[in-house]
Amino acid sequence: MADLYALDLAFDLDEATPDTVLAELRRQLAPSVEDAYEDPYASSPLLAARGPALRIGGVLVGEFTRGARGGWALTARQEIHEEQLPDLEDLLTALAPHIRPPGPVGRLRHYEHEAPDLLVLREGRVVQLALDRR
């Protein structure tokens, strides 16, 4: 369990986000029945956990709804395993062209570190910026 990360996401998607991208985001937010019987990090959707966090403290959440100004709004706080980082990168790559406006979209922090890395939309892609040189 030593390779856990705190993931916080909060951003809006534009109205023209394709249905296939929205469907994948919804899939990542929905818990699956199989998760109760398998390794929770092996096949779980990235943003589906709810309730108390194991290592990062606080509560795990994931909400996706119509935005106040049109489009869509996402807020999620999750505890993810290092093995899920490539899946997170794939998801953010699919979402990046539809995130509005450019700028911060979240943060990622190894559970043992006190400073997170920022996740920022720059030039059409989400990049990770370290706040603390470890």
Cα-based distances in Å from 37 to 41, 59, 72: 12, 22, 32
Quote the pTM value: 0.89
First-to-final CA distance of the chain: 20
How many angstroms separate the CA atoms of 22 and 28, rounded? Answer: 10
Structure tokens at 115: 């400073």
Residues 6+ apart with CB under 8 A from 23: none
Summarised one tens digit per residue, pLDDT across range 47-70 is 999 999 999 999 999 999 999 989
State pLDDT tens for residues 103-133.
999 999 999 998 999 999 999 999 999 987 6
Q: Write the secondary structure of 33-57 as one string of H (helix), E (strand) and C (coil).
A: HHHHCCCCCCCCCCCCCCEECCCCC
